[in-house]
Amino acid sequence: MGLSIVGTGRHLPKDVATNEDLARVMDTTAEWIHQRTGIVERHFAAEGEGASDLGAEAAKRALARAGMGASDVDYVVMSTMTPDFHFPGPAAMVAAKLGIPGVPCLDVRQQCASFIYQLQLAHALIGAGQARNVLMIGAEAHAGFMPWEDWDYLHGKGGSPPSQDAFDRATRHRGLAILFGDGGGAVVVRKTDDARGVIGVDVHSDGRYVDYIHIPSGFTKRPYARRDDIDNDLHIPRMRGKELFKQAVTKLPESVRTLCARHHVKLDDVDLFVAHQANDRINGAVRDALGLPAHKVPSNIAKLGNTSAATIPILLDELNEQGRLKPGMLICFLALGAGLHWGSALLRT
């Protein structure tokens, strides 16, 4: 008994911000951003547009590609680090927007590494006979914590230049703001009676590194959100970029090698390595550490930035659309995210 990917879909907000746009509101240049991240532009959710909206639209497209109706879904597993509300999670909201209230839903909070965990959960649910069709969704609306206020000016649609204080504030959060973009991706997996599907998963978590990327405002811990949390920008994520880079370029190659060795798979036997799109420099370093050719490690970060939990399902849909996903292929997924959570998975299409 296994599973197969029967549908993929993605949805991107219509508003696009280029590196030149970001340079209008903070101390940076388009070249500086591209050199350090590989990013040229990214999409941002509009005001009032949340992760549940982006996820629902991506899910509709994945279901349509699978030739399925929403009523065929037995289980929804969704991931985001930018939920519409602090609680409840958005998975049930997405199911309601799809017209399937009552279907069981899980919110998985492994951030950028979520797809690996989702795949493991789908494999377990199907293997245990608890589901036949599982809808996996990753969606992010990072726009809500971007450190500027005049979006019209950012997009060159009028507005007013930032004050010096506003410019300085955005510059303080530059390392975060240049990386992230918004979007949703979805994958439908279905039970099969053959050997296709998940060959193995290698996942890890280590809370000792929680402050490498986190939101300092503790909500229920501080207690709850206080006025000075907002005044001091404690609702905006803090990121230790150099430390995260070191963790990713060490732990991801180690996970891939461990997983492949465990299942007697040679790296040369893997057709595609679909990695979380955090930073082009990270993925380049991981690729070099594993000795992989560039054509086996696809990337879309230049046009989308880091869409966190959505990066892998969005990239998977692009590959599917391009005809690069073929029956019998061996794919290795790999990702590291806030938590820290990281790992890899092997799947036969």
DSSP label of 236: S
Query: In terms of DSSP H, where are the helices of 150-207?
Result: 151-154, 164-172, 174-177
C-alpha span between 291 and 258 (Å, rounded): 15
Active site residues: 112, 276, 306
Domains of the chain in start order, with CATH, are 2-192 (3.40.47.10), 197-348 (3.40.47.10)
Q: At what angle do helices 280-290 and 30-37 cross, to 10 degrees?
A: 30
Instruction: Give 183's contacts (C-beta < 8 A, 6+ positions apart).
Output: 10, 11, 12, 13, 43, 54, 58, 139, 140, 304, 307, 310, 314
pLDDT tens sequence for the chain (349 residues)? 689 999 999 999 999 999 999 999 999 999 999 999 999 999 999 999 999 999 999 999 999 999 999 999 999 999 999 999 988 999 999 999 999 999 999 999 999 999 999 999 999 999 999 999 999 999 999 999 999 989 999 999 999 999 999 999 999 999 999 999 999 999 999 999 887 899 999 999 999 999 999 988 867 776 666 788 888 888 888 989 999 999 999 999 999 999 999 999 999 999 999 999 999 999 999 999 999 999 999 999 999 999 999 999 999 999 999 999 999 999 999 999 999 999 999 999 9
Token pair listed for 7: 């549908």
For 121-166, the pLDDT digits (tens) are 999 999 999 999 999 999 999 999 999 989 999 999 999 999 999 9
pLDDT of amino acid 222: 64
Q: Where are the alpha helices (DSSP H) in the chain?
A: 19-22, 30-37, 51-66, 91-97, 114-127, 151-154, 164-172, 174-177, 227-231, 241-262, 280-290, 301-304, 311-321
- The predicted pLDDT at position 106 comes to 97
β pairing state of 133-140 and 105-108: unpaired
Q: What is the pLDDT of residue 44?
A: 98
